[in-house]
Amino acid sequence: MPTTKARYQITETDDIAAALDSAAQRWPNEPRSELARKLIVQGARSLEFSSVERALEIELALSELADLGDAYPPGYLEKLRQDWPG
């Protein structure tokens, strides 16, 4: 089909074949070329979401760490270390 858009060639290596086989389970009756296109688009979306999700995970972890300060009273570590051999 004529186009002015760039075209790409991808060799169907073992890992690409496995990805296409997985895609065929999600999108049955699609030609492998369409499965490759869908995988690229879906992969890009997952990268976008994963960076946002990762930022939220970090924010949550930092919040939980800040809350740990309330779990230990002042002087807790010093009292704990008193029994340690010097």
Question: Tens of pLDDT along 41-80?
Answer: 999 988 877 788 888 989 998 888 877 767 778 888 888 8
Query: What pTM does this model have?
Result: 0.57
Task: Identify the pLDDT of residue 30.
Answer: 97
H-only helix segments in the chain: 14-26, 32-68, 76-81
Structure tokens at 7: 């075209």
Between 27 and 63, name the one with better pLDDT. 27
**Is the separation of the CB atoms in 20 and 32 below 8 Å?**
yes
Distance CA 86, CA 47 (A): 50
Structure tokens at 61: 């972890």
Task: Identify the pLDDT of residue 19.
Answer: 97
If you average pLDDT over residues 27-41, what whole number do you get?
96
**pLDDT > 80? residue 1:** no
**Is the separation of the CB atoms in 10 and 16 below 8 Å?**
yes
DSSP code of residue 72: S
